[in-house]
Amino acid sequence: MIAHSQKTAARPSLGAWLRDPEPRTPAQARVQQFWLMWRKLRRNGSAMLGLALLLAIIAAAIFAPYLSTHGIYAQNLGNRLQPPSAANWLGTDELGRDIYSRTLHGARITLYIAFLTAAISAPIGLIVGTLSGYFGGIVDTVLMRVTEIFLAFPSLILALAFVAALGPGIENAIIAISLAAWPPIARLARAETMMIRRSDYIAAVRLQGASAMRVIVLHIAPMCVPSVVARVTLNMASIILTAAGLGFLGLGAQPPSPEWGAMLSSARQFILSHGHVAAVPGMAILLTSIAFNLVGDGLRDVLDPRNE
Gap between the Cα atoms of 65 and 54, Å rounded: 19
Q: Which amino acid belongs to residue 228?
A: V
Tell me whether residue 180 is in a domain: yes
Tell me whether residue 46 is in a domain: no
Give the tens place of pLDDT for each residue, 214-240.
999 888 998 898 889 889 998 999 999
Tell me whether residue 99 is in a domain: no
Q: How many domains does the chain contain in total?
A: 1
Give the tens place of pLDDT for each residue, 113-167.
999 999 999 999 999 999 999 998 899 999 999 999 999 888 888 888 888 888 8
Q: Which domain holds residue 246?
A: 106-307
Which residues are CB-contacts of 242 (< 8 A; sequence separation ≥ 6)? 155, 156, 159, 177, 180
Q: What is the mean pLDDT of residues 49-77?
A: 93
Tell me whether residue 115 is in a domain: yes
Give the tens place of pLDDT for each residue, 189-211.
999 999 988 888 888 888 888 88
Q: What is the mean pLDDT of residues 77-106?
A: 91
Predicted pLDDT of residue 122: 94
Q: What angle do CA 28, 55, 169 make, to 5 degrees?
A: 115
Question: Which CATH number is 114's domain given?
Answer: 1.10.3720.10
Predicted pLDDT of residue 1: 45
Q: What is the mean pLDDT of residues 33-48?
A: 83
Tell me whether residue 148 is in a domain: yes
Q: Which amino acid belongs to residue 298?
A: G
Task: Give the 3-state secondary structure of 152-179.
Answer: CCCHHHHHHHHHHHHCCCHHHHHHHHHH
Tell me whether residue 2 is in a domain: no
Tell me whether residue 114 is in a domain: yes
Q: What is the mean pLDDT of residues 75-93?
A: 90
Tell me whether residue 23 is in a domain: no
Residue 288 clears pLDDT 50, i.e. is over it = yes
